[in-house]
């Protein structure tokens, strides 16, 4: 199978939600996931571009990507441990 972009295993749709709800939803979904799982949050709140990476850093997860298109941020993290 060719190497290429991988789809995240999980997506949290937080479009239309304001801070801190995108991070709260992301944290709830990340809880108990096995290390290495990629998790993306879709958010329209511009604060998510700062809040999600800060949450990942504080919890020991890895920020994989953060992109914006048409007002929607897609921020992907890789879970590094299960005790979020």
Q: What is the pLDDT of residue 1?
A: 47
Catalytic residue among 8, 10, 11, 19: 19
Say whether pLDDT at 4 is over 60.
no
Question: Is residue 14 included in any domain, yes or no?
Answer: yes
Say which CATH number the domain at 64 has.
3.30.110.40
Exposed, middle or buried, 20 (CB in 10 Å: 0-12/13-18/19+)? middle
Give the chain's mean pLDDT: 91
Q: Convert the pLDDT of each residue in 40-69 to its tens digit.
A: 999 999 999 999 999 999 999 999 999 999
Question: Which structural domain, as residue segments, surrounds residue 62?
Answer: 10-78
Task: Evaluate whether 48 touches 16 at the Cβ level (below 8 Å).
Answer: no
User: Strand pairing of 72-78 and 38-43?
Assistant: antiparallel
Say whether pLDDT at 82 is over 80.
no
Question: Is residue 74 included in any domain, yes or no?
Answer: yes
Say whether pLDDT at 84 is over 70.
no
Question: Is residue 5 included in any domain, yes or no?
Answer: no
19 catalytic per annotation: yes
Task: Evaluate whether 64 touches 30 at the Cβ level (below 8 Å).
Answer: no
Question: Is residue 28 included in any domain, yes or no?
Answer: yes
Q: What is the pLDDT of residue 56?
A: 97
Counted domains in the chain? 1
């Amino acid at each position: 199978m060719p190497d290429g972009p991988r789809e995240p295993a999980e997506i949290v749709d937080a479009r239309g939600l304001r801070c801190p709800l995108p991070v709260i939803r992301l944290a709830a979904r990340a809880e108990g996931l096995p290390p290495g799982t990629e998790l993306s949050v879709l958010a329209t709140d511009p604060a998510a571009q700062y809040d999600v990476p800060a949450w990942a850093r504080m919890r020991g997860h890895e920020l994989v990507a953060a992109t914006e298109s048409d007002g929607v941020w897609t921020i992907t993290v890789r879970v590094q441990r299960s005790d979020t």
